[in-house]
Chains A and B, each alone.
Chain A
């Protein structure tokens, strides 16, 4: 049998890798170990290689971050998807420990039939546990549950110094805080131990409410917050092409698990986008049409009971949906704005977007709560978060993104590294005042294109 170890010791050929935004393919030496000992050997090996003239390393999960937090041009990329074993599952207490390359997709297949769900889930299940920790992802229940990191009990970290560490709020607490949301820069996350949330069925009741404008959003969102856990999951879709009195119009959706309906797991994606959509499909007219149809589609409003898959992961039904943005790829803007300024700032962001006429298909707005994970670089904070995507149309798109970023910064908000491609070092420092603590604890042999961009550190 060919052994993996012999291959990992060589520097592999360069292959091109792109992140989810697909704006350009970047050459990397790709390693894909199947066992943790091979993975840690590769991290240690990066040390040896560097003392010569070798390239530094970065862990890469399923490549669902949009910009460059998962890229390391001309360096090594350690792809973790084969490191996906469960290590322990206590189905009575709802605690699971698994290798960090396990996807939420696969984890759900194991835990749902036994009456457990993810305590926090992002809008796609195709992310790894390691990626969820490194980006400290959030979900529709942020106001109640906080971010993913809140539910991480412990995690394993291997550093290029050769140390194998267990991190938690009690043990190596400083490094734990630097690793949750730490963008994979503090070492290789080898395993994650997570508290799960109990469910009685895998179905949710969803109520969809029309929102005529931005005030309508804040009214219903705040009312739903006050109702506490009655509706723990909330999100709004906003028609970002609407302006004037209709600015901020959209649909507000709130959901809760129901007690009956069985514990069926999700199925595989139904359709896959086979090729890049041609660029001419992505114009103001098609987006306007899409936004109008989405808002006015039959049965959009009212209450219904559905499986968790369409509620939490609507885009997962279309494999490779990012190809719909065409060959040039797309940008995403996601920011969070603290409460006192939230409403006015979101208004300005939407006005700026509508005026630029570069609107996106799906714009998402929701409130975030104040339950913080200990992550020093965690994105979520109490306020309102807005996510918009834009097909890459060159300088005009970049200019718009920078204008949006400036508006966010002025209001004391910040951008989400997992989605970002335009943040300047000044914006990063302003948004993440604790960044230097992470810089001090960073593994010197690990590097990402994002980190180089926002710190100006050399390779």
Chain B
């Protein structure tokens, strides 16, 4: 297998960094996209030291949907067509704030659902006929059932799951592979405000599950695997039980 071109959208996220590290020793070439150049630079050096054939960086606000197609075209010229894309940016948001301030709620949905969906559509549109393309998109177990504690974030992630299911269906029989990654709690700066318990997984663990799901061409991967069990139970709880639960 020749070395891949890997595009990472949201490269500063802890999961994206761990994922890129695991891909680097194969000699992959990276294009790392994020908002903060000062953060992207040390990540790029790390990947090169670990064996990446190259690590370019590009600064962009990925939530700017108007600029998506222009940016992709520009990167295509400088970097080439990606073989693999990880979409890892996102925000946990704040449910209580979203209920009070509609701007915050709208932003959570626009970033978590709309912008990601637009990136996926744009990447598929730009793909040359017959060119293989793997898209790994970070969703969340929070998207599996609407819950009082985070249904704005959860709805964005849940909608994304439906969207990606449709993309997979539409591309059956083509060399396009889309995997929805559903992490549970991950020990990252994004969750530093939460009390951390034994259910928290390391970004390395999540990244290893992403790599394995790509290799096995899975459509959905829960990471770590026990979230599949937990969410299957939660999805199937009858309403009269679920409505009494504080989750």
Which of A's residues lie within 8 Å of B, judged by CB? 1-2, 4, 7, 32, 34-37, 82, 85-89, 96, 98-99, 110, 113
Contacts and interface: CB of A to CB of B under 8 A. Distances in A.
B190 A88 contact: no
Contact of B49 (A37, A82, A86): A86
Given A2-B92, A7-B192, A87 B49 contact: yes
B190 A32 contact: no
Contacts of B81: none
B49 A89 contact: yes
B46 interface: yes
B238 interface: no
Contacts of B120: none
Given A1-B91, A34-B14, A110 B50 contact: yes
A96 B49 contact: yes
A350 B236 CA distance: 64
A359 B194 CA distance: 43
A2 B189 contact: yes
Contacts of B46: 85-87
Contacts of A32: 189, 192
Interface string B168-189: 0000000000000000000001
Contacts of A35: 38-39, 42
B197 interface: no
A346 B227 CA distance: 54
Given A34-B14, A37-B38, A113-B25, A1 B89 contact: yes
Contacts of B39: 35
Contacts of A4: 189, 192
- The B contact surface, by secondary structure, is helix
A99 to B, nearest CB: 8
A87 B50 CA distance: 10
A85 B91 contact: no
A88 B47 CA distance: 10
A88 B46 CA distance: 7
5 contacts: A1-B91, A32-B189, A36-B42, A87-B42, A88-B45
Q: Is the interface of A mostly helix, strand, loop or mixed?
A: mixed
Given A34-B14, A96-B49, A113-B25, A1 B43 contact: no
A110 B193 contact: no
A2 B45 contact: no
Interface of B: 13-14, 25, 38-39, 42-43, 45-46, 49-51, 89-92, 189-190, 192-193
A85 B90 contact: no
Most B CB within 10 A of own CB, among A2, A4, A96, A98? A2
Contacts of B90: 1
A338 to B, nearest CB: 41
B63 to A, nearest CB: 10
A41 B202 CA distance: 25
Nearest to A30: B192
Given A1-B90, A2-B92, A87-B45, A34 B189 contact: yes
With most chain B CB atoms within 10 A of its CB, the pick from A1, A37, A88 is A1
Contacts of B25: 113
A89 B45 CA distance: 9
Contacts of A82: 14, 189
Nearest 7 CB-CB pairings of A with B: A86-B49, A85-B46, A89-B49, A4-B189, A86-B46, A1-B91, A85-B42
B45 A85 contact: yes
Contacts of A99: 42
Contacts of B189: 2, 4, 7, 32, 34, 82
Contacts of A85: 42-43, 45-46
A359 to B, nearest CB: 34
A10 B50 CA distance: 35
Contacts of A98: 49
B222 to A, nearest CB: 21
A186 B218 CA distance: 51
B22 to A, nearest CB: 10
B151 to A, nearest CB: 19
A7 B193 contact: yes
Contacts of B50: 86, 89, 110
A163 to B, nearest CB: 20
Contacts of B38: 35, 37
B8 to A, nearest CB: 15
Contacts of A1: 13, 89-91, 190
A99 B189 CA distance: 18
B49 A110 contact: yes
A98 B38 CA distance: 17
B199 to A, nearest CB: 15
Contacts of A89: 49-50
Given A1-B91, A2-B190, A36-B42, 16 more contacts: A1-B89, A1-B190, A2-B193, A4-B192, A7-B189, A7-B193, A32-B189, A34-B189, A35-B39, A35-B42, A86-B45, A86-B49, A87-B49, A89-B50, A99-B42, A113-B25
A384 to B, nearest CB: 39
A88 B49 contact: yes
B144 to A, nearest CB: 23
Nearest to A113: B25
A98 B42 CA distance: 10
A85 B25 CA distance: 15
A98 B193 CA distance: 28
Nearest to A96: B49
A36 B42 CA distance: 9
A455 B30 CA distance: 51
B10 to A, nearest CB: 8
A96 B25 CA distance: 16
